[in-house]
Each structure stands twice: as structure tokens, then as C-alpha cells.
Amino acid sequence: MKTKRLRRCQLSVPGSSEKMLAKAATMEVDYIFLDLEDAVAPNRKAEARRNVVEAVRSTRFRAPTIAVRINDLSSPWAYDDLTALVEGCGEKLDVIVLPKAMGPHDIVFLDRLLAMLEARHAVGRRIGVEVLIEEIEALNSVEAIAAASPRLEGLIFGMGDYAASQGMRVSGVGETDDYPGDLFHYHRNRVAIAARAGGLDAVDGPYADFRNPDKYREEARRAAILGFAGKWAIHPSQIELAEAVFSPDPATVTKARAMAEAYAAARERGEGAINFEGTMIDIASVRGVDEIVALADLIGEKRGR
Ligand code: COA
Ligand code: MG
């Protein structure tokens, strides 16, 4: 059975910054991923890898989930990333985040390699995997990617690399500029559909302009409406914004419960569609209720590893 994790906010922490790694340990956030990829300069990859293995092995993080983003599978670093992580901190590592996947073959390969490494180092758990959908090839095969391994827990739409991969003319990571409508609607929607069909969480990627909370909130809201579970944060100030958008507010939870009760009573009376506070509700209206209540319960559970 897969572990159900909160992913309202996934905070990215550069693996080469011992200062930020230490600071991240104290942060109250659903999910932290320590980055070995783009936040780390090529000449500091080995140092960052050592820092990250040590941090995962021996730091007590307040966040309930700790992940590491490795370098992509065509890089000269991915092999060492994987072997060092599974050997050095496999027992403590919840999830590996794979960037720049090109298709389901990458996921199958990673799954098999992880299985070998876990067996080799007698790791007593199955490490989860999340995949960045940030290449045009990945979006083209996103349904197959979502079904490629039982380790998969989530798909992340990485709009920074994706925009470059498609040749989009945007001014920064996560920016949508003056495109009429929502530039990323199609991409997010495909990722959300594929993720949910595969029983995975969809997560929205970064927004780089961390001094612009309104735009961040708006981007998070767009993702939430489409069914995403959360959004990345690259700066601590974005954590609160994401958690607010992706948490059901108490009024929504109360209404969801009342709706489910009213519908159950109607069914007893032999009615399929009823008037609930002035709108029609039927079985479709209460389909999402369990999910809202389960999320609220998960948020209410005590955090901490
Ligand atoms: N994780 C942990 N701590 C962080 C952090 C992060 N992602 N981003 C900032 N901080 C810390 C800073 O070290 C600083 O700590 P201090 O008050 O003890 O000095 C504090 O939060 C405030 O940061 P601020 O001064 O506003 O920003 P900065 O100039 O230090 O850093 C960035 C700005 C963008 C360089 C930094 O936020 C960062 O590196 N983010 C992550 C980038 C990343 O992971 N990219 C890859 C994924 S897209
Ligand atoms: Mg990227």
C-alpha cells in the first residue's frame, strides 16, 4: 500500500547550501525535497550529494516527508546520486524525484535500479518515486508514465523547463506573461488527468518571483481547481500561500459533510436528486466529499517523523 502523504507544499532546498538545509529542518511544511539538480552548480555536485546524504541520514526534519531530487538519467551524476542515496540514507528517504523524464522507459529503469540497490543494501522499505513532467516528450507520454511503476506517487508539472522544451516565449520560471487565457491550462490539465487515472497526486511546479505572492496564489489556485494536490515552493514565504490554497477550509468541510448527510437521507426516501440550500445535488455532488474529509483528517493528524 502506498503511503498517503500531504503535498500541499513541496519546499525545494539546494543541496549545496548547508545553511538552507539546516534552516529547512526547522520548517513546518508538508514535504521537503533536497535538490541535487538545477539548484546545484556542476562543480558542487559531489559536495551537495554528501551534504544531502548526511542530512537525510542524521537530521531530524519537522516535515513529515523527505525527498531528494536527483540529476536526470542522461547526466554524469545520476548514477552516483542513486547509489549514494540508497546506500547512505535509504532507510530514511521517502521519495526520489526524477527530473527530465523522457518517457515510461525512464521510470521502469529507475524502478528496477532502485529495486537492485535496495536489495544490495538491505533497505527495508520501498522508496517512492515522483516524476517531473517538464519535457515535451514526457507530456506526450504522460499517461504511460503515470502507469509505469507501482513506486510512483506523484507527477509534477515543471513549467520552467517545460516552457523551454516547447520553445515558449516567457519571461521567467512560472510566468505566463500576457497570453490570452491560461498559458499552462492544457499542460496542467493533462498532467492532472493522467495523475488521477494512475492514482497519483499531481503537483504544480515552481514560481520563481518569490516577491510576488499574488501571482503565486493565483497560479496555485488554477492548479487546485484542476485537481492538483499542491505546489512547489522555492522560498519559505511561499509555504503558507500554498498551504492556504490546497487546504479545504472548515466551511467547505462542514458543507461537504452536511451534503453527504442530506443526500443519504434523500436516498432513504427514494429520491435521487434533491434541493440542498437552493441548488440541485445528486450522487455526483457527493462524490468528492470523502476526498475532502480524508484530506482534512490528514491535515489534522499530528505532523512529525
Ligand atoms: N530553503 C531553506 N531556506 C531558505 C530557502 C529555501 N528554499 N530560501 C531561502 N531560505 C532562507 C535564506 O537562507 C534566508 O535565511 P536567513 O534569514 O537565515 O538568512 C531566509 O530564508 C530568507 O531568504 P531571502 O534572503 O529572502 O532569500 P535569499 O536571497 O537568501 O535566497 C533564493 C533566494 C531564490 C536564492 C533561495 O530562496 C533559493 O535558493 N531557493 C531554492 C532554489 C531551488 O531550489 N531551485 C530549484 C527548484 S526550482
Ligand atoms: Mg527542471
CA of 221 to the centre of ligand 2 (A): 21
Instruction: Choose one of 245, 270, 292: the last residue of a domain.
Output: 245
Claim to verify: residue 132 and residue 280 sit in the same structural domain:
no
* Ligand nearest the Cα atom of residue 12: 1
CA of 268 to the centre of ligand 2 (A): 52
Claim to verify: residue 234 and residue 287 sit in the same structural domain:
no
Claim to verify: residue 129 and residue 270 sit in the same structural domain:
no
Claim to verify: residue 218 and residue 293 sit in the same structural domain:
no
Is 208 a pocket residue for ligand 1 (Cβ < 6 Å)?
A: no
* Number of Cα atoms under 13 Å in the Cβ half of residue 277: 7
Residue of the nearest CA to atom 20 in ligand 1?
A: 236
Ligand 1: which of 11, 18, 23, 173 to mutate, most ligand atoms within 8 Å of CB? 23
Is 230 a pocket residue for ligand 1 (Cβ < 6 Å)?
A: no
Inside any domain, residue 276: yes
CB distance 187 to 174 below 8 Å: no
Inside any domain, residue 108: yes
Claim to verify: residue 139 and residue 227 sit in the same structural domain:
yes
Instruction: Choose one of 196, 230, 245: the last residue of a domain.
Output: 245
Rounded CA separation 81/32 (Å)? 17
Q: For residue 38, which atom of ligand 1 is closest to its CA? A: 46
Give the residue ranges of the chain where pLDDT is below 50: 302-305
Rounded CA separation 262/2 (Å)? 32
Claim to verify: residue 111 and residue 254 sit in the same structural domain:
no
Residue of the nearest CA to atom 5 in ligand 1?
A: 235
Rounded CA separation 286/276 (Å)? 12
Is 19 a pocket residue for ligand 1 (Cβ < 6 Å)?
A: yes
Is 206 a pocket residue for ligand 1 (Cβ < 6 Å)?
A: yes
Instruction: Choose one of 228, 245, 262: the last residue of a domain.
Output: 245
Claim to verify: residue 171 and residue 268 sit in the same structural domain:
no
> Hey, what amino acid is at 283?
I
What's this model's pTM, rounded to 2 decimal places?
Answer: 0.96
Inside any domain, residue 4: no
Q: What is the pLDDT of residue 290?
A: 85
Claim to verify: residue 106 and residue 87 sit in the same structural domain:
yes
The whole domain housing 233 covers: 9-245
How many CB atoms are closer than 10 A to CB 213? 14
Q: Considering the chain, what is the average pLDDT of its residues?
A: 96
Ligand 1: which of 10, 235, 240 to mutate, most ligand atoms within 8 Å of CB? 235
Claim to verify: residue 44 and residue 107 sit in the same structural domain:
yes
Inside any domain, residue 3: no
Claim to verify: residue 140 and residue 119 sit in the same structural domain:
yes
Could you report the per-residue pLDDT of 14-25, keeping only the tens digit for each? 999 999 999 999
Q: What is the pLDDT of residue 303?
A: 42
Is 159 a pocket residue for ligand 1 (Cβ < 6 Å)?
A: no
Q: What is the pLDDT of residue 132?
A: 99
Q: How many domains does the chain have?
A: 2
Q: What is the pLDDT of residue 1?
A: 64
Claim to verify: residue 191 and residue 50 sit in the same structural domain:
yes
